[in-house]
Amino acid sequence: MSIFVDENTKVVYQGLTGSQGRFYGLLNREYGTQVVAGTNPKKAGTDVEGIPIFASVGEAVKETGATASCVFIPAPGVRDAVMDAAAGGVEFIVVITEGVPAHDEAWFFNVLKRDYPNVQLLGPNCPGIISPGKANIGITAGHIAKAGGPVGIVSRSGTLTYQALYELKQQDIGVTTCVGVGGDPVPGTSFIDCLRAFEADPETKAVMMIGEIGGTAEEEAAEFIKSSMSKPVVAYVAGVTAPPGKKMGHAGAIVSGGKGTAAAKMDALRDAGAQVGLNPTEAGELMVGVVAGL
C-alpha cells in the first residue's frame, strides 16, 4: 500500500497555467499521476494540454471528482488557495510554494484544524509526496524512486528527500511512500502524522526519517517512536556543524537558546531505539541491514 496518495488519487493543480505549475503538473501526469484539472479564475474554460481549467477547486471537484490539490500559487495567494481547496472538497492539499508568510501559515493551519478536520495539509515549502509507481504530486524526480516497498520515508529537507530516495534505489530498496513535510515553522503535516500512517500501513515494514536542526519536531517524533512504533526506524539529522543563531536554509532550521541542535536530536532518536546515520549514505547502509532482517 501507500500513505495519503495512490493510483486512485485525482489531483487538481492550483496554478497549472503558470510556468512552474504547468511544468510539474505535466511532468506528474507523465509519471502516471491522475492530473484531472487546473484552476485559474481568469482562464476558466481553457485547458493545458487537455487538462481542463476551472475557476475554483469546488468546480473542479464537481466536474472531475478530484480528491487532492497541489498548490503552485505565488506566496501572497497561498492563503486563499488553501481555503479554496478545503472549501472545494479535496481531502489532501500539497503546498509547494516557498516564502509563505508565517502568520498566513499559522492562520490556515488553525482554520483547517478547526473547520476542516478531515483535510490533510502537506507543506508549505515542501517537495511534495510520491508513492512510487502510483502517484507523484510535487517536484520530486520520479526516476530516483524505486517502487515496491518496504520502506517509508519522511523528511524535512527537500534535497535530502531526493538523496534518501536515491540512496535506497542504489541499494535496490523500494519505497511505499516518500513524504517531504517541508522545513517551515508551521508545517501542515508532522513527522508524527507520517510515522503514525506508516505504522498503520501493512506494506511499510521500516521507516527512514530525515530531520534537521531547529525546533522540537525530531524530539517529539522520538517520543512517538519510543511509545508507539513497532517498526524499525533509521534516521539522519542534518546540521551537525551549524552555528547557533544562524538560520540554515529553512525558516525553521535555526538553533537558539542551546536548543534544536543536531546532537540533541540524534541522542533523542537513539534513546528511542532508532538507528542514526552520521550522513545520508550511512543511513542508507543502515537501512540495508534493517531490510535484510525483516
Closest to 219 in 3D by CA, of 277, 278, 274: 274
Yes or no: say if 54 and 63 are a contact pair by the CB < 8 Å rule: yes
The C-alpha atoms of residue 140 and residue 144 are separated, in whole angstroms, by: 8
Domains in the chain: ranges and CATH = 10-122 (3.40.50.720), 141-292 (3.40.50.261)
pLDDT at 239: 77
As separate numbers, helices (DSSP H) first and strands (DSSP E) second, the chain gives 9, 14
pLDDT at 253: 45
Closest to 66 in 3D by CA, of 123, 25, 114: 25
Maximum pairwise Cα distance, the chain: 56
Yes or no: say if 79 and 104 are a contact pair by the CB < 8 Å rule: yes
Helix, strand, or coil here: 133? coil
Which of the residues 79, 156, 250, 265 is marked catalytic?
Answer: 250
Residue 107 grid cell: 492562520
Residue appearing with cell numbers 531490510 = 291
Residue 276 grid cell: 542514526
Strands across the sheet containing 120-122 = 47-48, 51-54, 34-39, 10-14, 68-71, 92-95, 120-122
pLDDT at 89: 98
Q: What is the pLDDT of residues 243-255, one digit of tens each?
A: 655 545 544 544 4
Q: Which residues of the chain have pLDDT under 70?
A: 241-259
Yes or no: say if 176 and 2 are a contact pair by the CB < 8 Å rule: yes
The C-alpha atoms of residue 254 and residue 65 are separated, in whole angstroms, by: 41
Question: What are residue 93's phi and psi, to 5 degrees?
Answer: -120, 125
pTM over cut 0.75: yes
Residue count of the chain, please give it.
294
pLDDT at 187: 94
Q: Is residue 103 annotated as part of the catalytic site, yes or no?
A: no
